Amino acid sequence: MIIINKPIIYILSDSLGETAEYVSRAAASQFNYTHIEFRRIPYVNNIDYLFEVMDKIEPQNSVLVYTLVVDEIRTALKQYAQKRHITAIDVLQPILSALENITGDEPKGQPGLVRAMDDHYFRKIEAIEFAVKYDDGKDPRGALYADLVLLGVSRTSKTPLCMYLAHHGIKAANIPLVPEIKISEEIYKIPRSKIVGLTIEPQVLNEIRTERLKALGLGGSADYASMERILKELAYAEDVMKKIGCPIIDVSRKAVEETASKVLQIYYQNENHIKQ
């Protein structure tokens, strides 16, 4: 399918526009993602600038997605979008209206409040510090204090996943599984609902490790990347994970975000089960 005029989603906000962009990309993922362009316009905080931005939008192949909390600017956008026949989607207004109805309070109308230093912010910072401190099994005792523990052989994205989870306020530790190093007994003291194992296809791991060695200026034929070594490590890791009885995720050819989504699904399902 050839698309002459590439669809464009304009993301407009009086703050950073992260919320509107996230929602837009979630919607776009249901279509042919490569055929859609995203243009974020943050900090639209006066009407003159608003009109300047909207004058550049071509209505025929564009959608305007926005998060504006200032009534005057939001009203001006709606009127101007209607005048120019621009499809405009207000992400926040339905939620604001619903909350206003059930709380009896009026919205503050202040941009950027979601980024204020609230409890969630401090939980995130604490989780990031935790992930750094207990990365790669530096201190196995950290697993006892973690919200979630990731197990896997080298190059299964354990560290990036822990950092991703930290941004969700989840304290994640990771422990590498190496046949020659006995796994700490601490891991068997942790509820298996708090442990997730990571595995990967041997060929994929071979390619990743070979490229890693090249990046370090080392030969790709080192034992670290040999298929014999990889099969040995994966077999050992599988035995450990089965003994623990934890869920196992195959990270082969998956982006960190995709794997993290599966990890989060497991985590929140277990959290809900515990609370019930």
Per-residue pLDDT band at 17 (split at 50, 70, 90): confident
Per-residue pLDDT band at 141 (split at 50, 70, 90): confident
Beta-carbon-side half-sphere exposure of residue 104 (alpha carbons within 13 Å)? 0
As a whole number of angstroms, the distance between CA 36 and CA 156 comes to 31
Mean pLDDT over 217-222 rounds to 75
Please determine, looking at this structure, whether the domain spanning 119-275 carries the CATH number 3.40.50: yes
pLDDT over 70 at 1, yes or no: no
pLDDT of residue 221: 67
Q: Where are the domains of the chain?
A: 8-115, 119-275
Mean pLDDT over 5-19 rounds to 89
Mean pLDDT over 200-225 rounds to 89
- Domain at 8-115, CATH class: alpha beta
Q: What are phi and psi of 170, to 5 degrees?
A: -100, 125
**How does DSSP classify residue 15?**
S
pLDDT of residue 74: 94
Q: What are phi and psi of 173, to 5 degrees?
A: -110, 155
Task: Point out the least confidently predicted range of 19-28, 93-102, 126-135, 217-226.
Answer: 217-226
For residue 16, what are the CA distances in angstroms to 91, 133, 194?
14, 30, 34
For residue 8, what are the CA distances in angstroms to 19, 32, 226, 228, 240?
17, 13, 46, 49, 48
pLDDT of residue 195: 97
Mean pLDDT over 62-85 rounds to 95
pLDDT over 70 at 185, yes or no: yes
